[in-house]
Amino acid sequence: MQMVSRLASLSEAELDDQMTASRSPHLSVGRQVIGMEAEALARLAARIDASFTNAVDLILGCRQRVIVSGIGKSGHIARKIAATLAATGTPALFIHAAEAAHGDAGMVSPGDVLIVFSNSGATVEVQPLCIYAKHLGCSLIGVSRNPNSLLMRTADIALVLPKVEEACTSSLAPTTSSTMMLALGDALAVAAMRARGVSGKDIRALHPGGEIGLQLRSVEDVMHQGDRLPLVHASARMPDVLITMTEKRLGVAGVVDDQGRLIGIISDGDLRRHADELFVGTARDVMTPAPRTILRTARVQEALETMNTHRITLLFVVDERKPEVPIGAVQIYDIAAPLPELAAI
């Protein structure tokens, strides 16, 4: 009876959830692992103190580069943190701790700051690199759960991780601990980034490729221009307009007056709405007046947001000195996938 009463008190969603969990133990394990790691991150956030501030200041004051190292899972985290530091304005590189003992220690220079990740703090492979770096006068930031380990005793700044259970069955394989290392490394990188005042323009310079680089570029860098610009005069006959739209392959035609000022736009939607005028009308008869434009100096991200907000697929580009005269066009398909059911202009 108690079981029946408890089931009756559950909402439909909760009941479905429990039934799914009973059929799939993987779901229960997945939630348990994520819960354990989330709790560990909360404990880490509550634990960071003046040592974290000192570590950020040390990174900001570094005259050379930040060297990040580790071995095993900690090494994988170290490699990622080195990449994040470099991508957010802090010159950094990763050195494999074992390879450092066989010549790669030559990458370390006086004035560098060394960050070493080691869950136990007693990893043998990282010790030669630490000794060599200290010999050169480099500052050392240690990250470990063991404050009394050799690494943390050697470090100038010790960032101590909370002692928590690993999420694996035996509590041995690095899971929760590596997640904390990743979050702490990201926190160091972002704190340094914000202290330096790294801007979107700076990030663009560091990410010239990929989606970030594209969205931080200027509209004029990606716009269609010159012979590719589909412009027709307001008095143009519609058969000629259709030819221009077909040849330019942007799906629209901009309509200009005698002074070359943009006064309207013709899209596929306009063609459907004025089907009876396609062979007898002019561009002025069919166009939608006052189309949206964007300045050539605007960021691609701004153009994308404008098109998504107004559910359009193209913006004509203008110069701030002559905002009525189109000098280019930017199409949403050039910069991102459109939203579902995105309407034509």
Point out the residues of the chain with pLDDT beneath 50: 1, 3-4, 7, 337-345
Do 235 and 153 share a structural domain? Answer: no
Structural domain of residue 246, as residue ranges? 219-335
The CATH number of residue 113's host domain is 3.40.50.10490
Do 101 and 243 share a structural domain? Answer: no
pTM score over 0.85: no
Do 152 and 72 share a structural domain? Answer: yes
Is the residue at 16 inside a domain?
no
Task: Identify the pLDDT of residue 21.
Answer: 55
Task: Identify the pLDDT of residue 337.
Answer: 47
Do 250 and 193 share a structural domain? Answer: no
Is the residue at 3 inside a domain?
no
Query: How many CB atoms within 10 Å of residue 122?
Result: 15
- Dig out the tokens for 36 from the structure: 């354990």
Indicate the helix (H) or strand (E) that contains 46.
Answer: helix 25-47
Do 191 and 62 share a structural domain? Answer: yes
Q: Is the dihedral angle over the CA atoms 206, 208, 214, 219 positive or is it negative?
A: positive
Task: Work out how many domains the chain is built from and give that number.
Answer: 2
CA distance 239 to 282: 9
CA distance 221 to 303: 12
Do 226 and 182 share a structural domain? Answer: no
Task: Identify the pLDDT of residue 183.
Answer: 97
Is the residue at 13 inside a domain?
no
Indicate the helix (H) or strand (E) that contains 196.
Answer: helix 176-196
Is the residue at 293 inside a domain?
yes
Task: Identify the pLDDT of residue 336.
Answer: 67
Do 236 and 127 share a structural domain? Answer: no
> 3-class DSSP state for residue 333?
helix
CA distance 218 to 221: 5
Do 261 and 171 share a structural domain? Answer: no
Q: Do residues 55 and 157 lie in contact, with contact meaning Cβ atoms separated by under 8 Å?
A: yes
Is the residue at 137 inside a domain?
yes
What are the CA-CA distances from residue 82 to residues 60, 87, 292, 318 (Å)? 15, 9, 43, 41
Q: Do residues 75 and 104 lie in contact, with contact meaning Cβ atoms separated by under 8 Å?
A: no
Do 162 and 79 share a structural domain? Answer: yes
Is the residue at 56 inside a domain?
yes
The CATH number of residue 299's host domain is 3.10.580.10
Do 178 and 120 share a structural domain? Answer: yes
Do 187 and 238 share a structural domain? Answer: no
